[in-house]
């Protein structure tokens, strides 16, 4: 049984309205084990399962004769998607009362910013009410044009947190895993805690944030010795930042070094054996932070390139975020 709420009758009606009989399902890793259940729910159609990785609403697979149905993500508002793509948002009905109480008992924050991954963004207002009932100021940012819901954060966009960071003592992230929480911590500079309603645990992301920052410092130090750079550009609809890549190329060449533009759909280490000293990643930011150790050469973000080339001070470090795409 799916751990999230899905109105399959509404989905079937939507597919019928679109006029497609062939359906291509895109499932993130966490939902692949439920593929059989989903296919059964859509037995009125010819269902195909995409074996390509699905990293988010930025990453879609389309075929002209099929309707792509992507599960588990909300569409990114400032992306113009093809007509044959629909998104099935999957919200959790797990309540946060117990884990909020646990947080309040253990940690001292007179004001909190509330952010959430998409699966739990439907609970931000009720969590806000829980804090306010205990006399704690709670704020929710709206975010920029890349996020659909107030309080929502993506792995590449923390604008909802940045919007309120000057007015809160700390942040709580409603969700599981620490990556989004680490992004909020590094982006805002504020203490950040992950509230997991499934395990009823509160996680301070400070240790993981410190580990990533040490790793990033090492990557920048290595890149300071580089003379040849490969600039990675994604051709995925929600990650393509070619104009940024061209700007970075000019910056590198102005500093007296060589730069090469590398287009890719899947940025995997096995495909990157070019004769360069370092890669600058303009594709999904998680590649820089999560997959760094899998590459043979340093992989840095656009901001980190500026630091390595002495155009920006280390003190002005910031997490790589995507606001607009080409």
Count other Cβ atoms within 10 Å, centred on residue 243: 13
Grade residue 4 by pLDDT with cuts at 50, 70 and 90: confident
Residue 164 lies in a domain: yes
Phi and psi of 177, rounded to 5°? Answer: 75, 165
Nearest CA-CA partner of 113 in 7, 189, 179, 12? 189
pLDDT tens across 151-193, in order? 999 999 999 999 999 999 999 999 998 999 999 999 999 999 9
Instruction: Please state, in angstroms and rounded to a whole number, the distance separating the CA atoms of residues 31 and 22.
Output: 20
Contact, 153 vs 175, CB < 8 A? no
- State mean pLDDT over 133-149: 97
User: CATH no. for residue 304?
Assistant: 3.40.50.11860
Distances 200 to 86, 103, 111 between C-alpha atoms, Å: 33, 10, 21
Grade residue 54 by pLDDT with cuts at 50, 70 and 90: confident
Residue keyed to tokens 């820089």: 288
Count other Cβ atoms within 10 Å, centred on residue 134: 10
| CA diameter of the chain | 61
| In a shared domain, residues 47 and 101 | no
pLDDT tens across 209-242, in order? 999 999 999 999 999 999 999 999 999 999 999 9
Residue 321 lies in a domain: no
Grade residue 30 by pLDDT with cuts at 50, 70 and 90: confident
Residue 12 reports pLDDT greater than 80: yes
- State mean pLDDT over 128-150: 97
| pTM exceeds 0.85 for this model | yes
- State mean pLDDT over 314-318: 92
Grade residue 77 by pLDDT with cuts at 50, 70 and 90: very high
Two structure tokens written together for 19: 């006029």
Domain span including residue 116 = 97-204
Contact, 184 vs 173, CB < 8 A? yes
Residue 324 lies in a domain: no
| In a shared domain, residues 40 and 106 | no
- State mean pLDDT over 257-273: 94
| In a shared domain, residues 275 and 193 | no
| In a shared domain, residues 122 and 187 | yes
Contact, 102 vs 205, CB < 8 A? no
Phi and psi of 308, rounded to 5°? Answer: -65, -35
- State mean pLDDT over 122-131: 98
Listed residues 204, 238, 263: the one ending a domain: 204
User: CATH no. for residue 61?
Assistant: 3.40.50.11840
Q: What is the number of structural domains in the chain?
A: 3
| In a shared domain, residues 83 and 182 | no
Nearest CA-CA partner of 303 in 285, 320, 322, 284? 320
| In a shared domain, residues 77 and 162 | no
Q: Measured between alpha carbons, how far apart are the two ends of the chain, in Å?
A: 39
| In a shared domain, residues 50 and 110 | no
Instruction: Please state, in angstroms and rounded to a whole number, the distance separating the CA atoms of residues 232 and 16.
Output: 39
């Amino acid at each position: 049984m799916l751990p999230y709420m899905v109105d399959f009758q509404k989905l079937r009606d939507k597919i019928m309205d679109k006029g497609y009989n062939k359906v291509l399902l895109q499932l993130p890793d966490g939902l692949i084990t439920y593929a059989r259940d989903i296919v059964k729910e859509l037995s009125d159609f010819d269902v195909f399962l995409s074996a390509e990785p699905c990293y988010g609403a930025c990453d879609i697979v389309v075929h002209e004769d099929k309707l792509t149905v992507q599960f588990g993500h909300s569409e990114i508002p400032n992306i113009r998607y093809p007509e044959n793509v629909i998104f099935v948002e999957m919200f959790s009905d797990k309540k946060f009362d117990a884990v909020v109480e646990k947080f309040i008992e253990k940690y001292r924050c007179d004001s909190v910013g509330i952010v959430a991954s998409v699966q739990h963004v439907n609970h931000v207002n009720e969590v806000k009410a829980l804090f306010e009932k205990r006399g704690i100021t709670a704020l929710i940012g709206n975010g920029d044009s890349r996020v659909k819901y107030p309080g929502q954060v993506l792995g590449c966009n923390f604008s909802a947190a940045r919007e309120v960071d000057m007015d809160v003592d700390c942040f709580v992230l409603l969700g599981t895993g620490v990556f989004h929480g680490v992004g909020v911590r590094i982006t805002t500079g504020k203490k950040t805690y992950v509230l997991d309603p499934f395990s009823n645990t509160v996680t301070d992301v400070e240790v993981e944030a410190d580990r990533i920052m040490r790793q990033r410092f090492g990557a920048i130090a290595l890149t300071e010795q580089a003379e040849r750079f490969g600039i990675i550009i994604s051709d995925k609809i929600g990650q393509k930042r070619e104009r940024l890549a061209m700007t970075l190329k000019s910056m590198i060449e102005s500093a007296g070094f060589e730069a090469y533009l590398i287009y890719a759909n899947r940025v995997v280490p096995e495909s990157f054996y070019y004769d360069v000293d370092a890669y600058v990643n303009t594709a999904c930011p998680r590649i820089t932070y999560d997959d760094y150790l899998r590459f043979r050469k340093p992989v840095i973000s656009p901001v980190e390139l500026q630091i390595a080339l002495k155009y920006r001070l280390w003190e002005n470090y910031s997490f790589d975020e995507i606001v607009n795409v080409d």
